[in-house]
Amino acid sequence: MAGRRAFAALLDQDSVAVLEYQEEQGGFRLVDSRERHQRFSAPDGAADAVLELLAELKAKNASISIVLQHFGSFFHTLVLPPADRENLRQIIQREIQRSFNISDPAFAFSTGSSVERRDSARAGGQVPRQVFIVGAPMSVVDSIQNRLAKARVRVEGMTVVPEVFRRLYDTLDGSKEATAVLVCLRNGPHVAFFVNGQLELAIEPPLALEGEAPLDTSVIIDQLERGAIFLRQQARGTVATRLLLAAPAADYENLASTIEARTGMHVASLGKGIGSPESVVAMGAVIAARAEDPLDIYPRPPALEQRLQGAMTGTGLLTTTLFTAAAVAAFWASMQVMVVKRSSDDIERTQARVEQTLPALSRAKESAQGRERIAGIRAALRASTSDRTALAQLMDGVGNAPPNGAQLDSLSIARVADGLKTTLFAHAEGATGPAAMSAATSFYRHFKSVTGLKHLEFSSAYGSRSASSGVTSPPGEDLHFTVTFVAPSGER
C-alpha cells in the first residue's frame, strides 16, 4: 500500500523482534530490525513492545505481518476425510477444544494433499486429506488486536511458527527429499520435518531446565533425534537426509558440524542472508501472510458477500428491513424538515420584502391621509356653502310668495333629518270666504310649484265672526292658514 511501511514481527513470551523490509522485484530487502528480550507475562505486553519498537523505527503508518509464539498458540495437523468446509470447521473446533483445552479458540485451517496410508482401496474413493490448523485463544488474539488497532497498525496476517516453517520451506527450498528444518530461536530449537515437500511433523522447543541454555548443542541434538524417531513412526520409516539450519551466526558453524557428525544429515543454511533466526521467522510471517490460502488467525471483518448474505437471511433480514425502514423514515423526516425550512425561508424572504416596502408605504399612507383630509375639508366647505345656498333659496322662495291678499305672519325653519322643516303661518282676507281661501291657496300653490319640497301640507281655519260685525262692519272673511313642507338642505 502506498505510503505504508512494511514490517514483520515475531511475538514471543521471551522476546519480540520487528524488522522492516521493502518489497523488490523477485523478493524482499531487509531495511532495519529491532529486537527486545524480556519476559512478557501477557500478550498485550508483547504487543506494546512491538509498538515501542515500531516507534523507535519511526513507523507511523505501519503494515505488519505477525508470527505468534507461545501465549497458547498452536499448530496442529489432522487427517480428515473430505467434507464440507463448515462441517470441517465444526469438527476442528471440537478437536481443538478437546486437544488443547481452549474453549474459545481463534483458529484457521487449510487442507493439504491427500494422505493414503492404506494399501487397500477405499469405498467411494474418498481419500483423507491432511488439514493444517493454526490457532490461539481468542482472548490472546483480541488483546493483540486491541493494542494494534488503537495504534492504527494494519495487520497483514497473524500465524504461528510451524506455518512459517511450511511457507519458508516452500519458498526457499521445496525439495521432495525428506528434510529436517531446525530454527534456533532464543527460546529454544524449533524442529520440523518435511516429506515429499509437505510438512509432516513440527516440534516445539523443550522446556529449558534450571541453568540449562536453551540452545545447548546436546539439547538440540536430542531434540533432532527425538524428532527423527517420531518421523519414522509417523511416516513409515522415513528418515531425513538433509537439514536446513537457521541459527545465530556465532553458533552456526559449530552446530552444523556437530549435527552432521551426530546425525549424518547434510546441513544447509535456511535464510542465511536474512539475518538472525528471529528475522528469518519474521520474514516467514510475511511470506505466510501473502500466500494464496493463508492460515491467518487475525480477526477479519466478514467479506461484503458474506455480510450481504447475512443481512438478507434470518434475523439479519429483519434487522436489515428495520434499518432500511429507519433510513427511509429518517430520509422522509429530513425531507419534511427541509420543506419546513424552505417554507420558513420563503416566508422570511417575503416578510423582508414587505418590511422593505413598509417605509415607502408609510409615506404613501401619510400622503393619502393628507389627501383624504383635504378632500374632507373641501367636502365640508362645499356642504356648508350648499347649505347656505339652500337656506337662501328657501328664504327667497318665502319672500317671493305672491301676496294676493295673503300675509305671512311668522316663519319657522327647523333642521330635521331629511332637510329643513319649514312652517309658514299666514292669513288671507277676502270679501267672502272663498275669496280668502283663493288667496290662501294661491299662496300655497306658489310653494307647490317649487321643486324639491317634500311633505307639503296646507291647513286653514276661518276667524270667528262677531254679532255686531255683520251689521256695522263691512262684510269680509279672515282665513288663517298654515303651510308646512320640508325643503332640501345643503348638508346631510
Partner 1 sequence: MASPTPAPRRVQASFNQLLGMAVSLLIVGLSVWVGVRAGTAAKDLRAKRSAWEATADQLATVQQQFRVPSATESASLIAESSRMGAIAVPAEEKLNLVDMLGRLAEACALSSVRVNAVAASDSAIVPERPIAGTQVKTAEYAIAVEFAGSFGNARKFVSSLPPSVVLTRLTAVRRDGGVFYQLILSVYELDANSGS
Please give the residues from 216 up to 275 whose contact with partner 1 meets the rule CB under 8 A: none
Under rule CB under 8 A, residue 318 binds partner 1: yes
The residue count for binding partner 1 (CB under 8 A) is: 89
Under rule CB under 8 A, residue 489 binds partner 1: yes
Under rule CB under 8 A, residue 383 binds partner 1: yes
In order, the DSSP letters of 289-358 are HTSSS----S--PPPHHHHHHHHTSHHHHHHHHHHHHHHHHHHHHHHHHHHHHHHHHHHHHHHHHHHHHH
Q: Which stretch binds partner 1 (CB under 8 A): 261-269, 356-364, 433-441, 461-469?
A: 356-364
Cell of 169: 520451506
- 89 or 272: CB nearest partner 1: 89
Under rule CB under 8 A, residue 108 binds partner 1: yes
Among 99, 218, 257, 351, binds partner 1 (CB under 8 A): 351
Among 209, 308, 330, 461, binds partner 1 (CB under 8 A): 330
- Closest distance between partner 1 and the C-beta of residue 348, in Å? 10
- Half-sphere exposure in the Cβ direction for 9 (13 Å, CA): 33
- 89 or 242: CB nearest partner 1: 89
Please give the residues from 386 up to 405 whose contact with partner 1 meets the rule CB under 8 A: 387-389, 391-392, 395-396, 398-399
Cell of 411: 316663519
Among 31, 149, 322, 431, binds partner 1 (CB under 8 A): 322
Under rule CB under 8 A, residue 105 binds partner 1: yes
Among 53, 68, 106, 280, binds partner 1 (CB under 8 A): 106
- 254 or 407: CB nearest partner 1: 407
Q: Which stretch binds partner 1 (CB under 8 A): 206-214, 282-290, 409-417, 480-488?
A: 409-417
Nearest by Cα to 424 from 414, 410, 437: 410
Rounded Cα distance, 481 and 460, in Å = 4
- 43 or 135: CB nearest partner 1: 135
Please give the residues from 114 up to 153 whose contact with partner 1 meets the rule CB under 8 A: 135, 138
Cβ 430 vs Cβ 442: under 8 Å? no
Q: Which stretch binds partner 1 (CB under 8 A): 33-41, 44-52, 100-108, 146-154?
A: 100-108
Q: Which stretch binds partner 1 (CB under 8 A): 35-43, 62-70, 234-242, 380-388?
A: 380-388
Rounded Cα distance, 371 and 384, in Å = 20
Among 99, 343, 459, 466, binds partner 1 (CB under 8 A): 343
> What is the distance of C-alpha 472 from the center of its chain?
131
Cβ 479 vs Cβ 437: under 8 Å? yes
Among 63, 110, 234, 438, binds partner 1 (CB under 8 A): 110
DSSP helix/strand/coil, 407 = strand
Q: At what angle do helices 138-150 and 43-56 cross, to 10 degrees?
A: 30
Under rule CB under 8 A, residue 491 binds partner 1: yes
Length of the chain: 492
Under rule CB under 8 A, residue 414 binds partner 1: yes
- Closest distance between partner 1 and the C-beta of residue 118, in Å? 28
- 7 or 132: CB nearest partner 1: 132
Q: Which residue has the cell 529449558?
A: 208
- What binding mask, one character per residue, do residues 58-97 give for partner 1 by CB under 8 A, x or -? ---------------------------x---xx--x----
Q: Which stretch binds partner 1 (CB under 8 A): 50-58, 70-78, 218-226, 353-361?
A: 353-361
Q: Which residue has the cell 501472510?
A: 289
Rounded Cα distance, 145 and 83, in Å = 31
Cell of 92: 476442528
Angle, CA of 306, 308 and 314, to the nearest 5°? 95
Rounded Cα distance, 464 and 450, in Å = 32
Compute the chain's Rg from CA coordinates: 63
Under rule CB under 8 A, residue 312 binds partner 1: no
DSSP helix/strand/coil, 480 = strand
